[in-house]
A and B are shown apart, each in its own frame.
Chain A
Amino acid sequence: MNRRDFLKVAGSGALIASSSGTAEARGNLEPPPEAVGMLYDSTLCIGCKACVVKCKDVNDMPAVTDEHNPQWDQATELSADTLNIIKAYTDGSAETKNAETDGFAFIKRNCMHCVDAGCVSVCPVQAMKKDPKTGIVSHDPDVCIGCRYCVAACPYNIPKYEYDDAFGQIQKCQLCNQKGVERIDNGQLPGCVEVCPTGANIFGTRDELLAEAKRRVAMKPGEENTFPLGTVGSPHGHVAPAADYQPHVFGEHEGGGTQVMVVSGVPHTELGLPDLPDRSYAAVSETVQHSIYSNMLAPAGLLAGLLYFARRNTQEEGQDKDKEEQS
C-alpha cells in the first residue's frame, strides 16, 4: 500500500466520522414536567442545622466528631457520612446578615438534582439514574463498579465514596426517596424540609419553586412579604421584611438547570457555588462521543479499510516468506 492509499483509508474514516455526527448535536435535557426539588433561601436561614440532624436521622448516618469534642455532630464538609450541610460565609466584621461586605450568610449544600446530570451521563453501568417522573437523581450500589467517574464529573462535588471501607459505596442525597425511605412517594417532605423552622428550605415542583424564587428576587428590600413553610402553597408561613436579594436564581440555567435552586443576598460564588455555563457538560460530552460513534458507522468503515489492507499486506508478507524458504 502506498501513501496515497493510506491517506484514502484515513480520509474516508475521518469523513464518515464527521458526516455521521453533524445531525447528532445533543442539547440540554429538559426537566420532566412533574420534576420536584427544593428552593433554599439563604436570607431566611438562621443556621440552626436542624436539617443536618434530620438528614442524618433519615439516612441513618453517624455524627462526624473530632477527638476533643465528641458530644455532637461537627461535620464541616459534605462527606459519605454527611449528605446535607449548612455552611457560613463571613466577611470582615461579619455584622450584617446577607451583606457581602462586613456581613454573613448561610448556604445549604446537598445534591442539586441537576436537570441534565453529569453523574447520570458518565456512569458506565446506570448506577446513577434520573427518575423519569420526579427527576430525582438516585444511586444503586448493587450495580455500581466504584469507578468514581461520577465524583470527578459532578460540578458540585456531591457523590462521595467511602474510602475507609473495604467494601465502600457511593453516597449522595436522593431527596429522601431512596428504597426503604420513599418519603416523596409517600407524600411526605424531604427530611431537611420538614424540620426547617423558617421556611428557608421548601419543597415543590421545579416550576412552582422557580416561580416562587423569581417572586422573591423581585421583592423590594424591606417590604413585608409572606414566606411559606414546607411547600410553596402552604397555608403556614410567616410575614417578614424582604432581604436585599441578588437578582439571580441559582439553578435556573446553571449547567442546564437544577431541581434544587438557591436565592441569596450575597453572590452565589461567595457561597461556594460554581459559575457554570448554561450548556451542561453532559451535553457536550455526549455530543462528542456520539459524533464519533453514531450507529458505529465510523468504526465500522474504518475497520473495513483496516481489514482490507491488513489482509493484503499480511498476504504479501507470506509470499515473501515462501520465496525465501525456496531460495
Chain B
Amino acid sequence: MSHHQATGGRIITLPFLVLSLLALAAIWILGERFFYGLGAVTNLNDGFPWGIWVVYDVVVGTGLACGGYVLALTVYIANKGRYHPLVRPALLASLFGYSLGGIGALVDMGRYWNFYQMFNPGQQNYNSVMLEVGLCVSAYSVVLMIEFLPVVLEKFKAVKWQRKLEKVLFVFIAIGVLLPSMHQSSLGSLLIAMGHKVTPLWQSLHLMPFLALVTAMLLGFSIVIFEGSMVAVGLRRPSESHILTGLTKGVIGLLIVYLVVRFGDLIMRGALGHAFSGDLRGNMFLVETLLFVVPLVILLQKQWRQRGPYLLVAAVSIILAGALYRFNAFLIGFEPGGGFVYFPSVKEILVSVGMVAIEIVGYLLIVKTFPVLPKAHGHADSAHA
C-alpha cells in the first residue's frame, strides 16, 4: 500500500558515533553557557549582539530547512505529483532544521525564561519583525510535526487515525506553505531597522523581504537536490537525478529573478561600486555573486543539468550562495561602528557543528526505522502518485 519504506540497516555506525560525539560536545558547551552566561562561550560583544548562533542556526539553518516548504508548494499547490517521493525526506529534514533553529534561538536568548512573553497578547508588539518571526517559526515547527505525523502513524499501522488525518491534512499543508512565505521573508525584513549598520551592498530596505524569500526558495530546492544525491550515495540507493532534474526549471527562474532584482537594486542605489573596492566586503560580494551565477550557467545547459554530478555541483553552489548572502547581510556586511569586530569562538562554532551533527544523526536514525524514503525497487512506477 505504501510507497515508502524504512531502509533498515545498522544504526550504530562509525559516522553515527563521530556525529554523536560532536553532538555531546555541543551539549557540554551549552551547559557552560547556561551556568556562566553567553560571554563565557561566545565572542558576542556590545557591537555584535548576534553571532553565528543566530545567523547560522536560525537565519541560514531555517533557510536550509525550506525543502519541505518548496516541495509542498510544488507537489500540492502546483500539483506536480511526480515529485511526491521527495516530500517525506524533505519534510523530515525541514522538521530537524526548524526544531534546531528554534533551539538555537532559545539558547541564544539572553533572558530565555521570559520567552513565553512572545505569546502574551498584552506584551506583543505588532510593529516588531522579530515577533512575527518568533511566532511564525514556532507555529511552523508544530505544522511540520503534523505534516510528518502520517509517517509515524504508518509505522505503527494506526490505519484509522491515518485516514482521519489524511482528510484534514490539506489544511496543514496550506498553512505549511503560508507560514514559511511569511517568516522567511521577515528574516530579511529584520535587517531594515538596522539601517546604516548594514552596509550598502546588503541594505536593500524595501526589497529585503523579497530577496530573503527568493533565497529561501532557492535554498529549499537545492537542499532537496543535495539530500537526494547524498541519500543515493550514502545509503546506496538508486539515483533520483531523473526526478531531481525536473526541479531545475524552477531553480533557473528563481536564479534569474534574484540576480535581476539584486543587481537592479544595487545599480539604482548606486551601491554597486562597493563591490570592486577590493576590501573584504567587496570581495565577499563577488564570491557570493559568483556562487549564484555558476549554477545558472550549469543549469542552462541541457546536457549538463541532466547529469547527476553537474546537478549536484549546481545545488551545492546555490546552497553556498544563499548561505553566504545571509552571512554577508547579517555579519560580514554588518558595521556597527566604534571599532567593534566579531569572529566566532571555537566553542560557538562547535555548538553550531553539533547542531548539524544532531540533525544528521536524527535523519539517519529515522530514515532507517520509519517509512520516509521511497521504495527502492520500481519507485519510478509509483512516482506518478
A residues contacting B by CB (< 8 A) are 1, 3, 6, 9, 77-80, 118, 121-127, 141-149, 151-153, 155, 157, 160-170, 255, 272, 274-277, 281-282, 284-286, 288-290, 292-293, 299, 302-303, 306-307, 309-318, 320-321, 324-325
Contact = CB atoms under 8 A, between A and B. Distances in A.
A4 to B, nearest CB: 11
B132 interface: yes
B44 A163 contact: yes
Contact of B177 (A163, A306, A318): A306
Contact of B127 (A145, A151, A286): A286
B123 A310 contact: no
A161 B112 CA distance: 13
A9, A170, A277, A314: most-surrounded residue (chain B CB, <10 A): A314
A118 B125 CA distance: 13
A318 B115 contact: no
Q: Secondary structure at chain B's binding surface: helix, strand, loop or mixed?
A: helix
A289 B125 CA distance: 12
Interface string B201-240: 0000110110000000000000000000000000000000
Given A126-B125, A164-B37, A164-B39, A145 B384 contact: no
A270 B206 CA distance: 30
A151 B46 contact: yes
Nearest to A318: B166
Q: Which A-B residue pairs are the 8 nearest by beta carbons?
A: A146-B110, A163-B39, A146-B111, A148-B49, A281-B195, A151-B49, A306-B174, A124-B131
Interface in B67-95: 75-79, 81, 84
Nearest to B84: A317
Contacts of A317: 81, 84, 385
Contact of A310 (B37, B84, B131, B173): B173
A282 to B, nearest CB: 6
B50 interface: yes
A320 B384 contact: yes
Contacts of A168: 37-38, 110-111
Interface residues of B, number: 74
Nearest to B43: A163
A157 B170 CA distance: 46
Contact of B337 (A79, A151, A157, A289): A157
Given A157-B46, A169-B110, A285 B129 contact: yes
A314 B49 contact: no
Contacts, number: 225
Given A169-B110, A302-B178, A307 B171 contact: yes
B203 to A, nearest CB: 10
Contacts of B317: none
Contacts of A147: 105, 108-110, 130
Contact of A274 (B38, B40, B124, B337): B337
Given A293-B132, A299-B178, A314-B169, A288 B205 contact: yes
Contact of A303 (B79, B118, B175, B185): B175
B196 interface: yes
Contacts of A310: 76-77, 170-171, 173-174, 177
Nearest to B181: A302
A1 B78 contact: yes
5 contacts: A6-B78, A9-B77, A157-B336, A169-B110, A289-B129
Given A146-B110, A157-B337, A276 B196 contact: yes
A163 B42 contact: yes
B156 interface: no
Contact of A145 (B36, B111, B190): B111
B76 A313 contact: yes
Given A147-B110, A306-B178, A281 B40 contact: no
A281 B130 CA distance: 15
A284 B109 contact: no
Interface in B115-158: 115, 117-118, 120, 123-125, 127-132, 134
Nearest to B106: A145
A320 B385 CA distance: 6
Contact of A282 (B47, B177, B193): B193
B337 A146 contact: no
B134 A163 contact: no
Interface string B163-196: 0001001110111011001100110011011111
Q: Which of B105, B128, B132, B175 has the most CB of A within 10 A?
A: B128
B1 interface: yes
A166 B46 contact: no
Contact of A148 (B110, B124, B128, B177): B110
Contacts of A142: 114
A3 B130 CA distance: 34
A30 B178 CA distance: 35
Nearest to A150: B49
A122 B193 contact: yes
Contacts of B170: 307, 310-311, 313-315
Interface string B36-62: 111110101111011000000000000
Given A142-B114, A160-B46, A149 B130 contact: yes
B195 A276 contact: yes
A122 B186 CA distance: 12
Nearest to B175: A303
B34 interface: yes
Contact of A126 (B37, B46, B123): B123
Contacts of A318: 166
Contacts of A290: 127
Given A168-B110, A289-B132, 5 more contacts: A79-B46, A151-B49, A152-B50, A285-B127, A307-B171
A212 B46 CA distance: 33
B181 A145 contact: no
B50 A148 contact: yes
Q: Which among A277, A286, A299, A313 has the highest number of chain B CB atoms within 10 Å?
A: A313
B254 to A, nearest CB: 13
A141 B364 CA distance: 42
B210 to A, nearest CB: 10
